[in-house]
Structure 1
Amino acid sequence: MNILMKYNPYKVETQLWFNNENLMETTKLGAFKHDRLQVWVERLFPMLVDELNDDTFIMEFIGTLPDFEDIRQVKVFYPNIELEHIPVEEVNDKFTQLEALVQMMKEGPFEQLKDEKIELNFQKALNSEFEIAVIATMSSGKSTLINAILGQELMPSKNEACTAKVSRIKNNPNIENYSAVAYSENGKILKTITNATVEDFTLFNDDPAIQLIEIEGNIPSVKSGKMNLILVDTPGPNNSMDGSHRQHTLSVIKSDDKPMVLYVLNATQLRTDDDLALLRTVADAMAVGGKQSKDRFIFAMNKSDEFDPEKGESISGAMIGVKEYLEQQGIENPNIYPVSAQIAKVIRKKKNGLNLTRSENGDYFAKDLFLEEPTMHLNQYAPLSPSLKNSIENQILRSNDKDDMVVHYSGITSIEASVNEYLEKYAVTSKITNAVNTFQRIVEQEDMNNKLKQAILEDSEQREEIARIMKTIKKELNSGSKAQEFKTKIQNVELKADEFFAPTNKKVFKLLSDISKKLRSNDKIKKYEAEILLAKAQKEVLMLQDDLVTDLEKTISNVLHSTAERYVNEYRTYIQGITRFESNKIKLNSWDKALTADSVDVDDLMGRFSYKEEVVVGTKTVLNPEKKWYTFWRPKYVERNVYENVEYVSMKNLSEEFLLPIEEQVTNNIHNAIKFTQAELKRLQQFFIAEIDRLEGILKERVDEISRLANQREQLEEQLEENREKQKWLDQFMEKLNNILELKEREVIKL
């Protein structure tokens, strides 16, 4: 029994054929037809076996190698199923084809397609930023890990919380040295350095005026695939100098765009309070979205070389401890990568001809541990796909360079391979699809426009009918009655923004209630015990408020985007009412699209409506260190007995004094966010109404152009021939454009 499966990651479409029947059309598997494979891949074989009532068959898979690896991983529980891969063109081939189309468009016969704005939009879609956020608690070796990836000492690294700023390292393989620009809180450039060193970044970290550091240079071991890859070094949750840093970390974790998160853990010191709240946020993000949500979080178990095999300490035992720790926070089946960032950094520095410190020289000469002790081959524990794991093992086998071997054994190349696979599997395919869609809408409009002109030139009866219709459309546009009716409708749309904020409201007050219960767990306790409880509660409240701010910002964005989408759909209906006429004489299908194809696009609309500006969605409550917290003295003096004075605290009174102002401020935050959103929605209405006027101007120009052509009587044959040549070019261009999103089988050379 044979099954043929084809998954297209560009179109996000699955076909599953058995006996000439597409099971994605006729069975319950169809529910996943247009879902990303990684969302439902764990259910593939159980459902397939259930539908076929058989677990013995051969499956041929047509698709990319990373997608095939995901299927191969879930097949291990079905030994009777044989799996074969039919390779297709990979992402690099698609980029080459896209670049060729840009050049073809520049040299083509349509002036409209040579507009610089079209190429800029294409480049924007293709080269949008993709973040890999690196986060950790104190002393986990986060900066060392980043330096190991870069192959040189760039980020300050010492045994304390040394990351005080957000640093964004943009990959640019075309420059030799790293440049850096330091910004203040309001975006002002404070300092620019063209050849930045670790000493410069140490000074940046110590400067309180600096809030953000933008760095540009080569990230040698990560393949960005034409994207603007950004490696983001963020202060850990224990660094409370600036809440906006924590908010940035939370927003990356919660982002719908699913950027990668590299979470660095100190393998020798796990159970700290600092990262518990952050890990719970990670758990929430991983619980939604299937395998992709799991793949985007990499847990680097750093300092793995500090376990001594001779003392019975093992890497596998430490990994079990890390897994249990993460599962206690709600993170199921985490991707844990043991790594020794220090040895990887030291060897790469030496191979790059950089000087080592005395301490680093000591680390370098201790590398024999990785060569002589098989349990310290950290790459063997990495949860990589079989092909990637085999690739690293083959590189080790082929290598005669002990330093190269130790870099692989350090686990750093396994982490880099996982990052590269995620980029290729998810991020790059999305960028290719976005770039094609940017072209498609514009080219389809030209295609319809050209076909309408051809119909006018070829058929006198159609020409007269189109001229009549254009006259009617122009009359309607000039009267403006329907336009005014539509504008009034948009202005009267009722906007219930508060409904979007209800889930956030409920979540925040549940968390505040949990904090209250912890504080009130004992009615009366000693002052020092109350101080410990209060310090923990303060950390939780700070994280809670940062969490609230990121939730509010995300909700505001969602409300605005969904409202814009609603306006756009209303506008399309309105335009169709003006331009659609039933006519037996016009043979061209959907001819009215020639007038309306580029009427408006939601993402383009939001891109022009949005502006970068710090907005206040509320205010943040933090404990004032000058304010004394609630205390309650209860000394008793009894004659003939001496008692020690002990300071007690009433936890009921303390929790009320501590939490009531916070609850009030949280309510104000949400209220302010709703007010801000409503104001932004009104602004969006005004912007969209102005957009209608602009679009109607374009529509009038097109109607005039079609009218002139329809009323023309001379040189028709010459124009018709020119139009036919243009149509041939368009057909060829559109075929090539559509083929980019198709899976083309690759020839396999058999040796």
Structure 2
Amino acid sequence: MAQVYVKYNPYRLETTLKVNGRDISTDSILYKVTKGKRLQEWIGKFPTMLREELNTVDFALEFCGMALDWDDFEDAFEQAEREGLVKISDLKYIAGKSDDDINERIVAIFQELQDGPIDDFRDPKLLRAFECTNNSIFPVNVIATMSSGKSTLINALLENKLMPSKNEACTATITEILDVDNPHFSAVVYDGDNSMIQEVPELTLEIMGELNDDENVHRISAEGDIPFLDSKSTALMLVDTPGPNNAQNQAHKNTTYRAINSDSNNLILYVLNGTQLSTNDDAALLHYVADQIKKGGKQVRDRFLFVINKMDQFNPEEEDIGKAVLSAKRYLATYGIEDPQIFPCSAFTALNIRTYFEGIDIDNLTRAQERMLPLTARDTLPMIDKFVYYESMHLEEYSTLSPSAQQELNFRLSQAVANNDTKEQALIYSGIYSIEAAITAYVKKYAKTKKVKDLVESFQEVLESSEVLTKAKTRVATDAAAAKACAERASAVRKKIADGKEAEAFKQKIASLDPMPKIEDKAEQLKQNATTKSSKIFRPYGETITSREEAQRLVNQFSTFSSDAMAELTSELESVINSEIVSTGERLLMEYQDKVSKFDESTSDEQLDFQTVDLIKGALKTMRENAEEWTTDDFATETVDDIGETSYEERTYYEKVGQEAEEIVVGSHEEKIGTKKVKVGSHREKVGSRKVSNPAKRWWKIFTPKYIEEDVFETVDDYKDEDVYKTVLEYKTIMRDVFEEKKETIEKFSVSTALIQQALIAKMRRNLDEGTESALGFAGEQVDRMKGQFSRIFAELDALIASKYEELEKCATDQDEKEAVLESNKKLLAWIEQKMSEINSILDM
């Protein structure tokens, strides 16, 4: 039996492994797999790797770390034991210290650093990087089909009736609600061009209803209190994302697919109607969700919470709730979503308890008092009884909660039972607390730890650079040999920086970094995949279609498919472009660091115990933090591309037999794929001092701002845009050929399926070609601009290096400077060591 000790620090991404009391070798596969990686990236395969590495199946395990990570560790080994892969004789947990106040401590440390003796901590670039990271917003996208109770669920999470609920199809409005711990809600309203329409200082349910009914409103950016999380730690933003059945706006469908993409940094609440699971509206989107889950590991899987709503409508005396939950899992499995995170819920019950019954003792209501309640409140009372008195309706027991979260919820329930608090019991049984606990766990496990890690690394790099410079100053001030070596290196560095040939060589190396061929290849693959998939739609129709109704059905089916295909391609292509641009930026930084490291090669500097690059480590780290900002904020305008605004939607109404062929054709909404200039920030919205940190905050973005509502059969002269004019004429001609018929054979309608297929796919392919061409053109512009921006920053870094050496030379040659340095350096080094120790203590387990 092997005794294995694992210690994991999520803030440092450090894993310590000991086997039988000894550290594992750095050559071990276990060391290589875990080094510098999040536990969730490797824990799934860890039991198998451990067995193969140690050549045994018997283990005694001890884990030290945070409770949420322990949940994943324990689950992985219990699953492996169930599968017969390992035998666990002991599984012990050592809890790490609480991290509840870690963000406040980091902010306090940064304030002390700013007030300290190191000027770099007052550098505007560092301040900007700190603000960007500390105030980053974590989005939770709520997605649902019609009549699933999405608005009710959002209101239940807000404990406030803010979102209007409607039975008809959802509106074309996106609503973002930022948590600012303010009980009063306010909003800024935007149109389709992202221009502000109005500000709403006091946002209410009535006003929200009016805004949702206003066709000019595209997005509502609201802020107020989301009670179950503290915004000081991580600012949550609930996003009411348009559902898959929203055909009013292709841009919104693109937004939904973009949010689901595996590269996205957000959480997805996918709301299903528990009483009516199967719906065609879900099909394409759930297949896409399954594809994204399969791409990633546990973290990607953890991103998707499937809420099975409207569970209050089940009758526990006649229906098996457990079977209903199992049915939901099987439904998702049909789309390839295995072992989903399921959260059955009654948002209706939770919302009404939190609104109507605040301060009301529902156990002692008289009949007269009950009659005075609003009708919805009266309807909620039997729901509360159902959840409290029927054990099968205790929905939290069916939720996919981690053991630590379940333990906390069980304690909360025991307190409610002990206090005879019926409302609290019903809230727990309604499933709403389970959803909130799952969101909180994800934010703590992934978003919060990353934020803390990024902030602390920024401090540490600046402190380390300052420490290097301070020690070097002391060395050259007291050691003649070191002073001489420093002078030689400083001279050599200045020559290399000023050397025109060196500069040109570096410039050429930067210019050679070109991600566009790879992006273009991937774009072609995506287009080909979409075209290939579309061919499958036509197979069931045979070679010939013999009725107009069947032809209409085919085109309607293709309309839905093409819309989904456009959204999927937009999401995937954006992900590819963003990834390649980020990768190019990282390679630019590596090239510059390589250039700086070569500054020291031609000098004999055994007396110096630092490298030139060490002097600017803090500035390089700040540069990385600000990279996305530099490539966005310096642009006066940004081109955005319209991909996927074509919808092959049936618009023709057959009024009588014998109409002319042109009137029988299947119509279409057409929008020319092109470009539009918008103000910077349209895809990186600032809310107060906070900055959205989500997949929309990227250097490049496909965006579809408008949707032409005019029927193609309106007078062509109404189209003032020449491209749209040509598109309408072209499409009418194509479809006239497809459905051409002679009056004498009108009763014998017959058209080749292949002809319809050729016309529809050709049109779809043209839209894909035009859209991707425009997107690739813009991506190329972004790469060029990024290189130019980085070159300017590299020039600043060169100047910074020169200034650091000037400081060192002054310490070596100026007697007054020497004395001043020697006097202050002891105190400065002590201060640096103290702050580094304080920062390390914050992150220690």
TM-score, normalised with respect to structure 1: 0.92
For 2:513 and 2:55, how far apart are their aligned partners in 1? 52
Taking the TM superposition and a 5 Å limit, the aligned residue runs for 1:290-329 are 290-311=297-318, 313-329=319-335
Q: Which residue, 379, 393, 401 being the options, matches 2:410?
A: 393
Cα deviations by residue, 1:406-444 (Å, 9 ceiling, x for unpaired): 111100101111111111111111110011122122222
Residue 832 (structure 2) pairs with residue 730 (structure 1): yes
Aligned pairs for 1:385-534 within 5 A: 385-399=402-416, 400-491=420-511, 493=512, 495=514, 497-521=516-540, 522-525=542-545, 526-534=547-555
Instruction: Rate the CA distance shift 1:291–1:461 in 2: closer, same or farther, 3 A.
Output: same
Aligned partner of 1:65 in structure 2 is 67
Q: CA deviation at 1:324?
A: 1.6
Deviation of 1:617 after TM superposition, in Å, equals 3.6
Q: How far did 1:243 drift?
A: 1.8
In the alignment, is the contact (CA less than 8 A) between 1:156 and 1:163 conserved in 2? Answer: no
Q: Equivalents in 1 of 2:287, 2:809: separation in Å?
A: 63
In the other structure, the counterpart of 2:89 is 81
AA of the residue aligned to 2:630 = R
CA contact (8 A) 1:179 1:194 kept: yes
Query: Cα offset for 1:157?
Result: 0.6
Aligned to 1:749: none
Structure 1 residues 23 and 327, CA gap change in structure 2 (3 angstroms): farther
How many angstroms apart in 2 are the aligned matches of 1:42 and 1:130? 26
Q: Is the CA contact 1:635–1:646 (under 8 Å) kept in the aligned structure 2?
A: no
Question: Could you tell me which residue of structure 1 aligns to residue 147 of structure 2?
Answer: 139
Alpha-carbon separation, structure 2, partners of 1:218 and 1:589: 50
Q: Equivalents in 1 of 2:119, 2:793: separation in Å?
A: 24
Distance 1:517 1:604, change over 3 A: same
- Which of 343, 349, 352 is matched with 2:349 structurally? 343
Q: Does 1:368 align with 2:385?
A: yes
Identity %: 31
**CA contact 1:62–1:88 (8 Å) conserved in 2:** yes
Selected match of 2:761 from 659, 663, 682: 659
* Counterpart among 628, 631, 636 of residue 609 in structure 1: 631
Query: Is the Cα contact below 8 Å between 2:140 and 2:268 reproduced in 1?
Result: yes
- Displacement after TM superposition at 1:575 (Å): 2.4
For residues 513-543 of structure 1, the C-alpha deviation after alignment (integer angstroms, 9 at most, x for no partner) is 2322322431223221222222121011011
Alignment-mate amino acid for residue 260 of structure 2: I
Residues 103/614 of structure 1: CA separation in 2 closer, same or farther (3 Å cut): closer
Q: Are the equivalent residues in 2 in contact too, given 1:467–1:711 (CA < 8 A)?
A: no
Listed as ranges, the matches of 1:560-639 within 5 Å are 560-584=581-605, 586-590=607-611, 593-594=614-615, 598-599=619-620, 601-611=623-633, 615-617=639-641, 619-620=643-644, 621-623=646-648, 624=668, 625-626=711-712, 629=735, 630-631=738-739, 633=741
Query: Take 1:495 and 1:54, find their aligned partners in 2: how far apart are those partners?
Result: 48
| 1:195 has 2:202 as partner | yes
The 2-side partners of 1:356 and 1:564 are apart by 61
Partner residue in 2 for 1:105:
113
Matches of 2:617 and 2:304, distance apart in 1: 43
Quote the residue 1:127 is aligned against: 135
The Cα of 1:151 is off from its aligned counterpart by 0.8
Distance (whole Å) between structure 1 residues aligned to residue 298 and residue 61 of structure 2: 21
Task: Report the Cα offset of residue 99 of structure 1.
Answer: 2.5
More moved, 241-250 vs 75-84: 75-84
The CA deviation string for residues 64-114 of structure 1, in whole angstroms up to 9 with x for no partner, is 000111122233353743211111123324324312311321332223323
1:746 maps to none
Q: CA deviation at 1:242?
A: 1.8
How big is the shift at 1:548? Answer: 1.7
1:379 maps to amino acid: E
Per-residue deviation at 1:472?
3.6
If the length of structure 2 is used for normalisation, what is the TM-score?
0.82
Query: SS of the counterpart of 1:570?
Result: helix
Q: For the residues of structure 1 that align with 2:561 and 2:580, how far apart are their CA atoms?
A: 28
Summarize the Cα distance change of 1:26–1:315 in structure 2 as closer, same or farther, 3 Å threshold: farther
When residues 653 and 357 of structure 1 are mapped into structure 2, their CA distance, relative to the original with a 3 A threshold, is farther
Distance 1:84 1:388 in 2: 18
1:480: how far off? 4.1
- Aligned residue pairs, count: 734
2:42 matched to 1:40? yes
Sort the Cα spacing of 1:179 and 1:145 in 2 relative to 1 into closer, same or farther, 3 A: same
Say whether the 8 Å CA contact 2:570–2:643 is kept in structure 1.
no
User: Which segment is superposed worse, 205-214 or 558-567?
Assistant: 558-567
- Cα distance, 1:332 vs. partner? 1.2
2:305 partner amino acid: I
Pairing 1:4–2:5 present: yes
> Structure 1: which amino acid aligns with 2:639?
V
Judging changes above 3 Å, is the alpha-carbon distance between structure 1 residues 412 and 465 closer, same or farther for their aligned structure 2 residues?
Answer: same
